[in-house]
Every structure is written in C-alpha cells, then in structure tokens.
Structure 1
Amino acid sequence: MDLDTFRALLTDEGQAVLAAVHDPDPAAWPATPTALRRDHPAELVAAAVEQARLRREAAAKFGADAQRMYFTRDGLDRASHREVAEYKLGRVLDEMGVVFLDVFPLGVGADALVLGWSHAVTAVDGDPLNVAVTAANAAALDAQATIWIEQQDLTAYEPWGEAVFVDVAGPGAPEGGRGPQDPVPSLTWALDTVRGVGAGAVRLGPDVPYGSVPEGCGADEAEWISWEGEVQEVVLWWYGEANPAVRVPRRATLLPGGATLTGRGLPAPAVRPPGRYLYEVDAAVVGAGLVAEVAEEVGGGVLDAAVPACVTSDEAHATPFATAYEITEVLPYDPAAPGAGGLAVRQHGCAAEAAELGRHATPGGDGADTAFLTRVAGEPTLLLVRPAG
C-alpha cells in the first residue's frame, strides 16, 4: 500500500469500503470485491480488504483497539505487543524520571502511542507512510494531545527529549550507515544516539542471544521479554545519570504476569542424566543466558550443554521461569518406534530428528502425554512426560 492509497482509505469513500469488508466472513459482505470494484478504485478495495485482514490479525497484539487502528504488513510485524509496550512504559515511569521523549522510527506507532499515555512524545520517521499511519492511529486512539509526529530523515534529526527510544527490531537493519529510504536505523547509529542523550532504550528483535549484545555498548541492562513463552523483543536500557536504579547486566521478564529474573554471575549449569523432573525453561530466560539461575533454583542441571532449555532435577519445584513435567520414560531416538505414536512432540536441539520422527510415527496413544525430543549427553533422546503435580 502506498501513501496515496492509504490517504484514500481515510476518506469517506475509503471508510465506506472498509466498513463493507469489515466482517471476517466474506459471505456477509454487502457486495463481493468484484462488485465493489465496479463502484470504487480497485486499489482502494484491495487496500480495504488487506486492512480488514490486518486488523483481525492485530487483535492478538492490540485487543479491541485493533479494529480502530491502521496497519501495514511490516508495521504490524514489527509492532510491540500492547502488554509489552505497557510493561516498558511502567519501567520508564518507575526508573527514568523523565517527561519528554523522542521515539523513532515508528512503524504503526505502537510504542510511541503507549509512551504518550504519560509523556510528551516526539515521534519521528523518514517514511511518509509510517508517519501517516501513526498519525491516523493517534487520532483513532485520541492521543493527538500527547504526541508530536514529524517526517524527517533520522540521521539529520537532533533529539530534544530527556530520553530517546530507537527501534531497530525491523528485518534487515543495516549495521553501517543508512539512507533516508532504509526501513530502520543501524544498530551503531542507534547506540550512538541513545548514548549521546544518556537515557532511553534500543529495541532489538527477538532472536538475539545474549552473547551477541554488543560488548561495551554502555547499556545499563539488556532485557529479554517474552509473551506466553515466546520472546517478543530484546531491549537495551539506559536509565540516566540521575536514576538510582540498580544496574544489572541481563534480565529476563515473562509476560503476562511480570516475573523477572536477573543474572547473578553463576557458572554454567552442570550436565547430568535425566532425573525425575524436566523443566522447560522460558525462552526469555534462555535468550538472556540465565538458565544457571533456574537450574540452581530447582536443584538441577541441563541434559546437554548445547540445549539450555531443558533442565532436569530429582526435585519438584514451582518456578515461574520454567514449565515442570514429570518424566515417565526415557527412550533412545528411533523415528520408527511406536512409542512416539499419537504424542505431542516438543523438540529442543533436534529439529532434523523431529522432522524424521513426524514422517515415521504411527497413530496411537490417547494423546494425554507429551514427548520431548532433545539431546542427552549429545545423543537424540525421547523423554515421555506428563505435567508435574
């Protein structure tokens, strides 16, 4: 969708077409797309159909507000989950002590609009479509009074806020310099910008292992945030010189719920054979390199040094940072063995073996148990488990 088509979508004609395709069941539409194209431009009809589809998809991130908002495909993919954005706002309120913020680039403006709930926000992007979508969302959510939106090449923008929030979570973020048409700023530029202001955050994508966070970047903290067990993003935080917040190098936060785990500098957990219990560690904890803290909490070790998500112990412990299972049987990997038939198989460190198992497993069992296909001392192994307790 280009800028002109998006602007047309905001007109009375565009709103009428969007309303016509709002229902998720095309059979309920007052006219087929073919009929709509007889009375309206084809590009407008296609944009409305796509917008309605994106709104339905966006409900998983934005709830009921999604039906009033506007999205692009890339913008929705990049946008923070609403509860993740609210969590980050809470950290800003509690730990930075700032009022005026700069946020860029925008996508659909998800973080900028939430930060605008309590702060004066200048939202900047070099892409005119992103600026238009963010402005439309600010109007839809009645946020115009707290957010100032500018179109400007980010490399030429001079931050004026007390804290800066830079999003480099988009795909293909360049590592070197960037031009006005690049979708996201480079990490180097983002780090330099936030360090120059002294407070704020750099938002990275979800697939960032702790070892790849830039050494010496100057961040007070690197935080991995998951939603229902899936890492949503990694955030590098600078609290600001006036803030007394305790600096921790790594943090994992699990949403919903808000359980948070910080590093204590523990050595790598010991490798040991399967015990009575298996703990599937949350992905944020794994990403942050904090499995040793969970292993210590449950009195266990890992099944294989290369598979940190699987901790085993002889003891039952309740922990918000892992899902506990009782191991009922330990089987050597055999894709043709009937023992895996009918079981829900979760794999850690054995993707190729899991695909082979899926091709050969035969139906069977009552589906009550789960099988973990993982590595035990380097060897693919099938662990049959049931929920602990």
Structure 2
Amino acid sequence: MRVTGTGRAAATVLALATWGLAGCGQGSSPQSAAAPPPPEVGVVTVTPGRADLSADLPGRLEAFRVAQVRARAAGILNRRLFTEGSDVKAGQPLFEIDAAPYRAALASAQAQLARAEANLLQAQALADRYAPLARSQAVSQQEALNAQAAAKQAAADVASGKAAVQTAQINLGYATVTSPIAGRIGRALVTEGALVGQGEATPLAVVQQVDRLYVNFTQSAAEVMRLRQALVEGRLQRSGNGESARVQVLMEDGSVYPQAGRLLFSDLSVDANTGQITLRAELPNPQGLLLPGLYVRVRLAQAEVAGAVWLPQQAVARGATGDTVLVIADDGSISARPVKLGPAQGGKALVLDGLKAGEKVIVDGLQKAKAGGKGRPVPWSPAGAASTPVPASASAASK
C-alpha cells in the first residue's frame, strides 16, 4: 500500500502524542505514591493541680425541729389565733379553749387557801399561848402538845392550798395553747367549736423549724471502704483539714443551693437490706426556700488529691486491661499511656497517675489517631469538641 505525504504526517503526530502521554504518566507516578499528611487532632495540655473529690448521693430534707401542738386542757375550742402557713414565735398564743371552768376552779382553790391560812393563824396563836403556860404547869402538857399539832396541821393545809392554787393556775394557762418552738405552722387540725383534750391530748397543729434543715442521705458501704483505704495508703488527703465535711445540695433542675451545709455524723452500722450507710448533715435555710420532705441530691466533699489531672471523658479509653489515653509527642508520634482514674465528676475523668505536666493528650480526632502513628496537634476547646477539626489545607482553600 502506498503511503502519501498526508498519511506520514498523521502517523508522526500520533507517535508524538503517544510518547507525550507515556512521559506524563511516568512523571506523576512518584507524586501519587507519596504518603498523606498526618491527621489533625485536638489536644489538651496536662496541667496537674489540686482536686476535691466529692460524691453525689440521694437525700431527703427534714425539719430541724418538729413540735406537735396539742390541747392539754379539756373544753370547747373558742378561737384560732394564727394564720395557717405563717411563721410563729415560741410562746405565741395559737388557740383559745373555753377557760370559764378553769377560772372557777382557780377561785375555789384560792378560797380554800384563804381558809387554811385563817386556821393556821388561829392554831398558831393558841400554840404560842399554851407554850409558856405549859412550862408553868398552868395547862397540861397534853393540851400544849395538841395545840402545837393543830398549828402544824394548819400549816400543812396552807401548803396544800397553795399547791391547789398553783395547779388551778396551770390548768387555766393550758386554756390558751401556745407554740412550743419558733417556726412555721401548718394548717389547723381542728376548727372552732370542737371538743378537745377530752381524755387525751388532741393534736391541734404542727410547727416546724425550717431556718435550718437536716439532710438525711445514704452512701454505699463499698464506696466508703474504698475511700478509707485510699486515705490510709496516702493516695488521698482528708477534705477540710479535719473539719466537718462540706455538703452541697443540688436542686431538681441541677442548680446548686447557695448555702453549704456541714456533715454531722454517719451511722456506725450498715443497713443489712441495702448495704448503705446513713449520713446526716445540717443545712442553713434562712429564707425558707427549701421545704421538709423534699428529695434532693447531696454533693459530699470527701477527700483532696494533689497533682490530679482533669480530662474530658472522651479522652479515656476503658478496656478489660485498664484505662488508657493517647499521648502525642512534639514530633507528632502517638503512643498509648495507661492511667489510673479516680471518681468522675461533672462529666470529666479524674486522672490520679500516669501523666506528667506539659504532655499533650488527644481529646478530639481519636477515630483517626492510633498508637504508633503520627498526628498534627491543635488546641482543643469544649466548644469545638463536637465537630472535627478543619484541616489547614481546607482552611487555606476557603480563603
């Protein structure tokens, strides 16, 4: 077959094109085989410091003092002298019971006393007159002795009369029912016109002192034993320099009650049914914001740790062999580090041992980092924890 000039030119162009493509392919092969850049990971720098260990425990509030107001005098209830739900003072009148029978009993007792005092005056005068006459034998010794006995009997009648008057006055005082303590009074349990105190002390109302409250709560005996063991071994220090442990109350919405309380005591025995130890704390309540019977969460400060490190929970990997974190060195190399943890608080993990000051712990980007690999650390902040760090190349491209 004959090849024309035009055909030869086309063949030459095709050969050159084929050679150019082959040359381009050979030049791009080393670039495609290059390793990708290390992944960007969010890190926090280890800063040891002092940490307070506390436990959040279920508790219930109880009034500091509770007094039942009862009728100690029998009769018809005439009046209620207080406003239900108000604050009352100690000794403040609360109820009035019909006092007419008690006033009459007091008047009768006073009259009996006056009669006894008159008899004493007469008997004593006779005994005094017979005493010298008996010495001169003007009257017999027996008559003088009878006069002295009558005078002493009259004196005893006077003492009995005084006791009867005092009893009548007490009973008359019971007709006005007063508050035994200062506090907040609830609703009246009886109404006007009711017969009270007939055979028993009828409950009329309840007064509770709420300017201070008790907080009763429980803690697992196993946790208490672990804490005591750590204190004995010196891994933890006692909180509060030997003073009563501080107690904070957490409200239902998670807020912390502004007034801190103090631990009073803990039971010496463990409840056989629940394995719990009961504790009690005293809590100020000057404005009466808290009410008795309210269920709360109690935060009890128990110990202190020196040189502790707080980390976000996601930085710690928990496994059957122990807890570990990923530490990144200055050259970007990543290694796994076993750590010893304390009780978590506030969504953070407490590292007691295993980290040194200045080391960088990976918190974000853990899915891209692995022990033995490389990474590029960037500072981590809680606001950015939910999102993956933006690579620097992408950031530059966006500009």
1 or 2 for the larger relative contact order (CA 8 Å, sep ≥6)?
2
The alignment's TM-score, normalised by the length of structure 1, stands at 0.18
The alignment's TM-score, normalised by the length of structure 2, stands at 0.17
**Greater radius of gyration (CA):** 2
More strand, by proportion: 2
